[in-house]
């Protein structure tokens, strides 16, 4: 039998960081022509980021929701609220958010939500929709956590209704107006998230650089003495 080295000695390719994967899908989305596929490509970038935050967000979200385990929708809203206050204010001030809200209100939401396999499995039903509507109307500036969760639910509705692979009876695959509005909002969200992550990483690395420089200076002073 051929020699098989133990797993500890086997070559393992370096894991590509989540922000880099997300930026790849962000760039790809700009090149897609079909509105529903363009939105779904951008959603892949968002999904990578909120799933990458699962461990960090699970305990926080469970405490906030009275011990209930954090669901996927909770992770989406939780990621949005990791943005700094100026950034989340800029996001929630996007002019397409109320337009997207109004456009969805013109749809038969009970049918759109009730017969969608993905949305139903993840608790995005008519009651959750009505709750999100209220939070978007009254909490855009009063409570950023609720507003972030409500925005995540709106974007998730579009994701579930725009995917041709999801079993459903009503969809948004050809609704160019809603897809464009949702895409504009999600694109700003993704650019804001990746920008903040990049700044955080630069700050973290700069701390290490300052430590190295300080150590080098102290060593040089020691030699002179």
> Does residue 42 form part of some domain?
yes
**Gap between the Cα atoms of 181 and 39, Å rounded:** 10
> Does residue 10 form part of some domain?
no
> Does residue 195 form part of some domain?
yes
**Gap between the Cα atoms of 206 and 39, Å rounded:** 35
Q: How far is CA 167 from CA 60, 114, 146, in A?
A: 33, 11, 29
Specify the pTM.
Answer: 0.80
Give the pLDDT confidence of 168-207 residue by residue, as tens digits.
Answer: 989 999 999 999 999 999 999 999 999 998 888 765 445 4
Give the pLDDT confidence of 24-57 residue by residue, as tens digits.
Answer: 999 999 999 999 999 999 999 999 999 887 777 7
Q: Can you give the residue range of the structural domain that contains 194?
A: 18-220
How many domains does the structure of the chain reveal? 1
Confidence check: pLDDT of 96 > 50: yes
Instruction: Report helix angle 144-162 to 176-224, nearest 10.
Output: 120
Contact call for residues 50 and 76 (beta carbons, < 8 A) = yes
Give the burial class of 4: count Cβ atoms within 10 A of its Cβ; 0-12 exposed, 13-18 middle, 19 or more buried: exposed
> Does residue 9 form part of some domain?
no
**Gap between the Cα atoms of 190 and 56, Å rounded:** 19
Residues 6 or more apart whose Cβ sits within 8 Å of residue 13:
none
pLDDT value of residue 205 = 46
């Amino acid at each position: 039998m051929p020699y098989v080295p133990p797993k500890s000695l086997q070559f393992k390719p370096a894991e590509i960081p989540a922000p880099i994967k997300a930026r790849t899908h962000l760039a790809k989305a700009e090149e897609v022509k079909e509105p529903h596929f363009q939105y779904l490509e951008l959603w892949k970038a968002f999904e990578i980021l909120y799933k990458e935050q699962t461990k960090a967000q699970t305990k926080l979200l469970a405490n906030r929701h009275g011990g209930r385990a954090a669901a996927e929708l909770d992770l989406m809203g939780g990621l949005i609220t990791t943005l700094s206050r100026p950034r989340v204010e800029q996001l929630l001030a996007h002019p397409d958010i109320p337009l997207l809200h109004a456009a969805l209100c013109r749809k038969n939401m009970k049918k759109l939500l009730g017969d969608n396999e993905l949305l139903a499995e993840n608790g995005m039903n008519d009651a959750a929709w009505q709750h999100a509507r209220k939070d978007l109307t009254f909490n855009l500036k009063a409570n950023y956590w609720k507003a972030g969760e409500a925005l995540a639910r709106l974007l998730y509705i579009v994701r579930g209704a725009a995917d041709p692979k999801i079993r459903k009876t009503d969809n948004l695959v050809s609704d160019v107006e809603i897809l464009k509005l949702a895409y504009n909002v999600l694109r700003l969200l993704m650019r804001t998230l990746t920008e903040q992550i990049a700044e955080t990483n630069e700050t973290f690395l700069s701390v290490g650089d300052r430590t190295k420089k300080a150590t080098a200076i102290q060593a040089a002073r020691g030699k002179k003495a």
